[in-house]
Structure 1
């Protein structure tokens, strides 16, 4: 481009407040390096460009970028093939020349600031010119003159520190089909959006996140679900890298992988004990200011080519009030931005509210404002499960992953599995004989635990039960109690026999019944065990 390509106020009068090369440099840089588009858009708006074709190119670049598409001269070509103004400056070859500007490579953001500054100066000049003309007409009220001048100097949106709105006319879609939705985890986690994974303390959120990350990195099904084969990043603020190493060994053993299988595909990052992990701060006006940690994480994920990112967890990364919907919406919007930038999904790990953590299933599966659910496209919840959907026993090792919210799929779907050899596995993925043994052990343990819970409750109420048939026969009494969790009389009777054999319970003295002048005897825990009474 030549400096001679400037607009003129009239014949032989080039406008000193227009820099065509600077405008071209900004556009060229945005096409060369799409990662600077957002930064450039915070410094200049379409109305700042003096050349109309530059303004329209700028708006089109922003609109395409907002949809997650890459932008370059080849992408723009079909949109401007018949553009008369572009033809006047060289046609489609002009787009290629824009990307060849040395200024575009050296200082594109400085050029953006210059374009904006010149636009402000032009508006001031035009406003002052209008003021001079209007002041001569004494019939024009002073207030009207000021209003006209202000409209020229500060038109709607001019100089605002924000990008152009990515507006589309539906007519542009005539004769075209919309692209299909793309999922990372089919039906569960969609591309280009952030999600939430919550669960009670100790249920295994970090393990299931690292296991899902491993499956995506290796291109293996995740607990029977189809998952995209994408580079994946898992970032924790709670576990040291040694723990991630140990956990990875167990996951690899379960999936039949080696560390070499994950080279260049899975990135594990520990920020445990590091100061300043908040992704932003809220200023006095309540505006979220992005922190260096966010930029650091985003750059790492982009350079790694990540399609799936786990952030563990919200307590360390969220800087605001979890009960303030505005704070939550702004923070999740930041994760949406990262999801769009990587054309993948960012999943934030979090805890449920106190009620749910204490076992009240009516409590929310997340803590704080309803915004935690409203402002994510997919929300998953990891919970304990005694049995699978077919009634097979899983016991204490049982888990269920629930699709609690899915804007682009069926809500409420569940996957049942168990914790086995330090990883999560479905029964369908284990040998039949191993599954049969695990289910039998899980069933027996479950029944034993229910029997002990019932006995503990009765002893706390000083209400004796017996191992002998009769009105106080323990299995008969326990089968009606909520602590039995649905166990039948026969199941509880079998549990009582097992607990006698292993020395967990016995018959003996319980307490002195002063009201009736007798000693009460019955079932009790063997003295010295954790539930011992007597």
Structure 2
């Protein structure tokens, strides 16, 4: 403004300045209100507000195996008996009795069957009841079956090209049924029937698992689905399609026949339940089972091996791995490589050292050592990528030993 201005100009100038200041104050007020609305949005937590609050304990359906408010997958090839295994899980939770020797947190259960009809389930349940010394009437509404084996379209979520997945009428029916029953465990048998998307599409997979996770939180319990592994999954780690199946669940179990220690046929009554992935417990825990009188029984303890046993088996695996490499063998982590699969190879080459250790426990040792970096995959200029101890000089591999 000029040094000497008329009163009218001074008044107009002051009015403009006042308006500008008022506009700034209004904008600041609106911005502050917007910030407060954002900070008050659901899911936004300023962590100083947690000071003094008790730390919530993690809740489990089966401690270390099946977490509450999350989704767990159980993969197994056709004919292994995973439906029977899941029915035993449902029975144990409904009655509050142990499952495969493990404690359970008792609850009501909804079992969704899209493969076996009521008659088949009754036959299996009768054998489970006999093993538990209970009767059908003893369940008193704590275990409810939803038979959809004759349904032409039991999908719980459908997908159209270029659009987000939509929860179907059957998906909503399961949700309403679980609430009506008061179920805190929903078992879905099987994934192939209820998933209407592309199993190798990461977006489809994550949307579907997201729906199941919301369902688990709504019932304040656990959701477990059974699945057949893909052809590639049977050769390596046992899951289906996209790696999002493994990444999205918080616990992934596999149920399979044991790897044969020799070329002789394995016992057809034996099975292995493995905790392949867990976000809240140690992965690699193996439970050996035996089929008898129509049910599966635990033939080994379910808890993790003692630390000293793990360290001993880890050491045995590394020493045996060196012997295999020195013999010119090519140990690998790929299951589809047959006798070159490292756990089977060290079992075959170092029989005396590993005679009291199963292939499954050698596999668990290999996974621990890979996770810790004690063993690695090394590229050899001529002969592939052998699995070796981290300090192994791969340049001398497959050279004559002096």
**Count of residues in correspondence between the two structures:** 273
Alignment-derived partner of residue 172 in structure 1: 49
Alignment-derived partner of residue 272 in structure 2: 400
Alignment-derived partner of residue 208 in structure 1: 85
Verify: 1:367 aligned to 2:240, yes or no. yes
Alignment-derived partner of residue 379 in structure 1: 252
> Following the alignment from structure 2 to structure 1, what is the Cα–Cα distance between the partners of residues 45 and 233?
43
Alignment-derived partner of residue 418 in structure 1: 290
Alpha carbons of 1:320 and 1:309: their partners in 2 closer, same or farther (altered >3 Å)? Answer: same
Deviation of the 1:263 alpha carbon: 2.0
Alignment-derived partner of residue 116 in structure 2: 239
Alignment-derived partner of residue 177 in structure 2: 300
User: Residues 218-233 of structure 1: matches in 2 within 5 Å?
Assistant: 218-233=95-110
Q: What secondary structure does 2:196 align onto? A: coil
User: Residues 314-463 of structure 1: matches in 2 within 5 Å?
Assistant: 314-357=191-234, 360=235, 363-385=236-258, 395-427=267-299
Alignment-derived partner of residue 262 in structure 1: 139
- Which runs of no fewer than 5 residues in structure 2 stay unpaired? 1-15, 17-26, 302-344, 352-402
Per-residue CA deviations over 1:475-508 (Å, capped at 9, x if unaligned) read xxxxxxx9x989x9xxxxxxxxxxxxxxxxxxxx
Deviation of the 1:387 alpha carbon: 7.7
Alignment-derived partner of residue 64 in structure 2: 187
> Following the alignment from structure 1 to structure 2, what is the Cα–Cα distance between the partners of residues 260 and 368?
41
Query: Is the 2:233–2:240 contact (alpha carbons within 8 Å) kept by the matching residues of 1?
Result: no
Superposition TM-score, scaled by structure 1 size: 0.48
Alignment-derived partner of residue 311 in structure 2: none
> Following the alignment from structure 1 to structure 2, what is the Cα–Cα distance between the partners of residues 172 and 203?
50
Q: What secondary structure does 1:382 align onto? A: strand
Deviation of the 1:264 alpha carbon: 1.0
> Following the alignment from structure 1 to structure 2, what is the Cα–Cα distance between the partners of residues 267 and 287?
31
> Following the alignment from structure 2 to structure 1, what is the Cα–Cα distance between the partners of residues 198 and 48?
43
> Following the alignment from structure 1 to structure 2, what is the Cα–Cα distance between the partners of residues 164 and 318?
32
> Following the alignment from structure 1 to structure 2, what is the Cα–Cα distance between the partners of residues 427 and 206?
19
Deviation of the 1:165 alpha carbon: 3.2
> Following the alignment from structure 1 to structure 2, what is the Cα–Cα distance between the partners of residues 169 and 204?
48
Deviation of the 1:307 alpha carbon: 1.2
Alpha carbons of 1:364 and 1:386: their partners in 2 closer, same or farther (altered >3 Å)? Answer: closer
> Following the alignment from structure 1 to structure 2, what is the Cα–Cα distance between the partners of residues 386 and 423?
21
State the superposition RMSD in angstroms.
3.0
> Following the alignment from structure 2 to structure 1, what is the Cα–Cα distance between the partners of residues 104 and 269?
24
Query: Is the 1:244–1:268 contact (alpha carbons within 8 Å) kept by the matching residues of 2?
Result: no
- Which runs of no fewer than 5 residues in structure 1 stay unpaired? 1-136, 138-147, 430-481, 489-534
> Following the alignment from structure 2 to structure 1, what is the Cα–Cα distance between the partners of residues 162 and 218?
27
> Following the alignment from structure 1 to structure 2, what is the Cα–Cα distance between the partners of residues 286 and 263?
43
Which one has the largest radius of gyration?
1
Per-residue CA deviations over 1:130-152 (Å, capped at 9, x if unaligned) read xxxxxxx9xxxxxxxxxx9xx99
> Following the alignment from structure 1 to structure 2, what is the Cα–Cα distance between the partners of residues 400 and 209?
14
Question: RCO greater where, 1 or 2, for CA within 8 Å and sep 6 or more?
Answer: 2
User: Residues 20-99 of structure 1: matches in 2 within 5 Å?
Assistant: none
Query: Is the 1:394–1:418 contact (alpha carbons within 8 Å) kept by the matching residues of 2?
Result: no
